[in-house]
Amino acid sequence: MKPLFRTSRSLTRPEESGEFSASPRTLSGDAWRQFRKHKLAMGSMGVLLLVVLLVLAGPLVWHTDPEYIDIIAAYSGMTAEHPFGTDNLGRDTLARTIWGGRVSLAIGLTAMVIAMSVGTVVGCVAGYFRRLDGLLMRITDMFLSLPTLPLLLVITLLFREPLRKAFGPEVGIFVLIVVVIGMLGWMPTARLVRGEVLTIKEREFVSAALSIGSDDRVILRSHILPNVLSPVIVAASFSMAGAIITESALSFLGLGFPPDFPTWGRLLFDGKDYLTLTPALVFWPGLMISLTVLCINFIGDGLRDALDPQLRK
Amino acid sequence: MGQYLVRRLLISIPTLLVISLVVFAILELSPADPVGNLPLTIPPEVREQIREAMGVNDPFLVKFAKWLRQFMVNEPLNIFEEITGLNFAPPLSLAQEDLISTGEEGYGELASSLSADIQSTGRSVILDGQAQELFRSDRQFFLEDSSNSPLFLNEFANGTVGRELSNDNIDVPEGELLPLHKSRLRYLSWQTRSPIIDLVIERTPQTLWVVGLSYLAAIFVAVPIGVIQAYRQYSNFDRFSTVFATVGFSVPTFFIGLLFIYFFSVQLGWFPSIYDTTHVVTDLDSFLFQMRQSIMPVTVLALFYMALLSRHTRSSMLENLKLDYVRTARSKGIAERRVVGHHALRNSLIPVVTLIALGIPGVFQGAIITEQIFRVNGLGQLLIIAIQGGDLPTVQTLTFIFAVLNVFFNIVADVLYAVLDPRIRYT
């Protein structure tokens, strides 16, 4: 009997070549194929990789110490010696931008992981266990009506000292900022995941798993979680972009890392008073923030299109 | 509808309570010492008495209850009186033992001798020579304490003394009446020694001006753009605007702000880089100057919301243009303009209007950064100054105000949605 549908070329090609060499189509393979069609997202991926490469491998090529003070070369414009210019103490902006990028990207990544983990766990539990749903969603609503930026400012102000004592000046602030940004950013993900879980848990494969006696943990981990992963991945990219902006904003207000510890936002904060003398001080770190966030957002757009099976052609 | 509104308002009460608890607890758990910036000459045991009198050692829940009363009852009434000029504070009626019970020696002695010499007569307090002498000799001391101890004041003289003294008009001749037009506790700023509500009222107009103008600008630019984008989906205009919108909310406002300052103030000299906060609009010229100095802060703040709103208008419009009623309208021969502008647009705007309401607290928070860039003396700047100066009462008040804005506009959005969309029926 002939199959009803025989439209895919992949079915015929292996037969013609005589062997089944073509690898089976997978969900991630499909998504990747779709993602590649999104030109902006692909371009952004390239640019983002360049930024990451610059930040990670930069110190191997550019040996200048970001903390080296050279008063004579202060306010230098863009020269061969200092491609991005220097600040009021003659510190090299390129080196500082590279090191600052490490911090900014690390914060974006860690805060995103925290927000996504909390959001996914809360969303899964709320969606799966009906008894906890009301309580968890009330908590989520509560968090959603907290004013993010003011609270962030207040918490970093108040808990800076104790954390500094506990972990040292840099690590302390890092932990503080990452945890606070993460804890104020998980709510949209929790809502999203809960909605997905609510529909998925009514599907047949979950009933099947239940009927063979799988316990809740197995069902959540191996049946539900993989199915909510794609919206979480999309949310993760936007969350990371947001975290990078939030950290920069915090540093820009002078309330982030200590002054001698460069992050992109901190560089902007330090450079803004010398705007007329050396605009390069502000321009390069600002450009790096903008490029990174822009690329991540475009990648997020691309991922959304690629991972949504309804949009897939 | 009315029932829904009531229910919605009732739901917001626990939310507000929990938010208050969070704001209160964060500051309460913080290691800041409320008597930390008193003069160092005060001996430690007196310091301890001051803390005791201030209620620092009260149980957490007692302090929270007092705080709630202050923020939910006293301060709103203060604002109301400040704005309307009315005064319906209850007449001063202080039980003598309340006043004397604050301590034995040192500060307590000062307090009790002072309170014994204060006789309240309606809205006025008579200070005799001894009390005034105390004020003069120990003025710094007394002022420091009164403004440092909002809860203490509550027990001491219902806030009246602190209020009057902070106004610098305490050099009253002996035996004369010290007029008191406020007999309600006021939360005082540690930095300026004045009631925080006064600071807030003083700074609100600037924030409202910047926030309001930029939000209006964002709405009036974004909605038409979104409509045209959806109508001409995949056209060059659509593509360009979509990319532009993503750029708009990816590039941080502080970077755009600095770029604006560099190009338009430093290079071209078109607009002033610093907002002149003393400028008063009296005639056309000064109005034009006001507009000129507002352009950059307003644009910077507007860009982000322009990007966000145009995106949502586009997607909502796209959804509606596909629906049957649009096809029906077209098939009836209604002019295209009317189909799009009247039938489709009105339905597409329902989610957009909700989003606009939801976005308002966000613009206020965005103004924190914008005001900092252009030195606008609004609420956001007040918050930053207070944070930098460790002025916890002000920080607490402003954070609470931002939270209330959030809760309030959440309700507004929900109610708007229910009013605008007849398909949604809340029972």
Residue A252: pLDDT band by 50, 70, 90 thresholds?
confident
Contact A253 B369 (CB under 8 A): yes
C-alpha B279 chain-centroid distance: 22
Q: How far, in Å, CA of A232 to CA of B126, rounded?
A: 67
* Closest among B116, B141, B138, B137 to B127, alpha carbons compared: B116
Give B 387-416 residues with CB within 8 A of chain A. Answer: 387-388, 390, 395, 398-399, 402-403, 405-407, 410
Predicted confidence at residue B86, as pLDDT, reads: 62
Query: Mean pLDDT: which of A24-28, A307-311, B68-72, B337-341 is highest?
Result: B337-341
Predicted confidence at residue B170, as pLDDT, reads: 40
Structure tokens at B426: 């809340």
Question: Is the whole model's pTM more than 0.90, yes or no?
Answer: no
Distance from CA of B386 to the nearest CA of A (A): 10
Pair A44, A300: CB distance under 8 Å: no
Backbone angles phi, psi at A236, to 5 degrees: -60, -40
H helix runs in chain A, sequence order: 9-17, 27-37, 39-61, 93-128, 130-144, 148-167, 169-183, 187-200, 204-211, 216-218, 225-252, 264-271, 280-307
pLDDT digit string (tens) for A189-205? 999 999 989 988 888 99
- CB contacts, 8 Å: B247 with chain A: 294
For testing the chain B interface, which of A142, A163, A179, A248 should be mutated: the one with the most B CBs within 10 Å? Answer: A142
Q: Look at A264 and A93; give whichever has higher pLDDT.
A: A264
In the chain, the amino acid numbered B326 is: V
Predicted confidence at residue B199, as pLDDT, reads: 84
Number of residues that make up chain B: 427
For testing the chain A interface, which of B258, B301, B398 should be mutated: the one with the most A CBs within 10 Å? Answer: B258
Predicted confidence at residue B117, as pLDDT, reads: 37
Q: Which helix (H) or strand (E) holds B119?
A: strand B119-121
Q: Look at A270 and A179; give whichever has higher pLDDT.
A: A179
Predicted confidence at residue B149, as pLDDT, reads: 32
Contact A158 B32 (CB under 8 A): yes
Identify the DSSP state of A86.
Answer: B
Predicted confidence at residue A190, as pLDDT, reads: 93
Contact A289 B259 (CB under 8 A): no
Contact B251 A294 (CB under 8 A): yes
Residue A256: pLDDT band by 50, 70, 90 thresholds?
confident
Predicted confidence at residue A243, as pLDDT, reads: 92
Q: What is the mean pLDDT of chain A?
A: 82
Whether the CB of B259 is below 8 Å from some CB of chain A: the reply is yes
Contact B259 A286 (CB under 8 A): yes
* Closest among B57, B2, B66, B19 to B402, alpha carbons compared: B19
Residue A310: pLDDT band by 50, 70, 90 thresholds?
low
Predicted confidence at residue B153, as pLDDT, reads: 31
Distance from CA of A17 to the nearest CA of B (A): 40
Predicted confidence at residue B423, as pLDDT, reads: 76
Residue of B nearest to A242 (CA): B250
Q: How far, in Å, CA of B27 to CA of B6, rounded?
A: 32
Beta strands in B180-337 (DSSP E): none
Hey, which residues does B177 pair with through a beta bridge? B126
Identify the DSSP state of A220.
Answer: I
Predicted confidence at residue B35, as pLDDT, reads: 64
Q: What is the mean pLDDT of residues A237-250?
A: 90
Residue/partner pairs of B2-11 with CB below 8 Å, 24 or more apart: B3/B427, B4/B415, B4/B418, B4/B426, B4/B427, B5/B415, B7/B426, B8/B411, B8/B414, B8/B415, B9/B411
- CB contacts, 8 Å: B319 with chain A: none
Q: How far, in Å, CA of B281 to CA of B287, rounded?
A: 5
All residue ranges of chain B with pLDDT < 70 are 30-39, 53-56, 82, 85-186, 193, 424-427
Predicted confidence at residue B283, as pLDDT, reads: 79
Residue of A nearest to B253 (CA): A249
Pair B391, B30: CB distance under 8 Å: no
Pair A114, A178: CB distance under 8 Å: yes
Residue A98: pLDDT band by 50, 70, 90 thresholds?
confident
Hey, which residues does B124 pair with through a beta bridge? B121, B179
- CB contacts, 8 Å: A188 with chain B: none
Predicted confidence at residue A292, as pLDDT, reads: 92
The complex's ipTM?
0.82
Estimate the crossing angle of helix B345-374 against helix A225-252, to 10 degrees.
40
Predicted confidence at residue B30, as pLDDT, reads: 67
Contact B246 A293 (CB under 8 A): no
Distance from CA of B297 to the nearest CA of A (A): 16
* Closest among B96, B327, B26, B250 to A240, alpha carbons compared: B250
Residue of A nearest to B385 (CA): A253
Among the partner residues A153, A159, A248, nearest to B387 by beta-carbon distance: A153
Predicted confidence at residue B130, as pLDDT, reads: 40
Residue A309: pLDDT band by 50, 70, 90 thresholds?
low
- Angle of CA points B23, B24, B30, to nearest 5°: 95
Contact B368 A253 (CB under 8 A): yes
pLDDT digit string (tens) for B171-226? 433 333 333 334 456 677 777 767 788 888 888 888 898 899 999 999 999 999 99
pLDDT digit string (tens) for A118-127? 999 999 999 9
Distance from CA of A151 to the nearest CA of B (A): 7
Residue A293: pLDDT band by 50, 70, 90 thresholds?
very high
Distance from CA of A209 to the nearest CA of B (A): 37
Backbone angles phi, psi at B347, to 5 degrees: -75, -35
Predicted confidence at residue B124, as pLDDT, reads: 33
Q: How far, in Å, CA of B265 to CA of B252, rounded?
A: 19
In the chain, the amino acid numbered A105 is: L
Residue A91 in this model has a pLDDT that exceeds 60: yes
* Closest among A69, A71, A52 to A109, alpha carbons compared: A52
Structure tokens at A70: 């050279």
Distance from CA of A171 to the nearest CA of B (A): 20
Q: How many CB pairs under 8 A join A and B?
A: 116
Structure tokens at A63: 């040996």
Residue of B nearest to A264 (CA): B255
Residue A40: pLDDT band by 50, 70, 90 thresholds?
confident
Backbone angles phi, psi at B343, to 5 degrees: -75, -55
Among the partner residues B29, B258, B387, nearest to A282 by beta-carbon distance: B258
Residue A114 in this model has a pLDDT that exceeds 90: yes
Number of residues that make up chain A: 313
Among the partner residues A150, A249, A265, nearest to B402 by beta-carbon distance: A150
Pair B250, A40: CB distance under 8 Å: no
Pair A66, A101: CB distance under 8 Å: no
- CB contacts, 8 Å: A290 with chain B: 250-252, 255
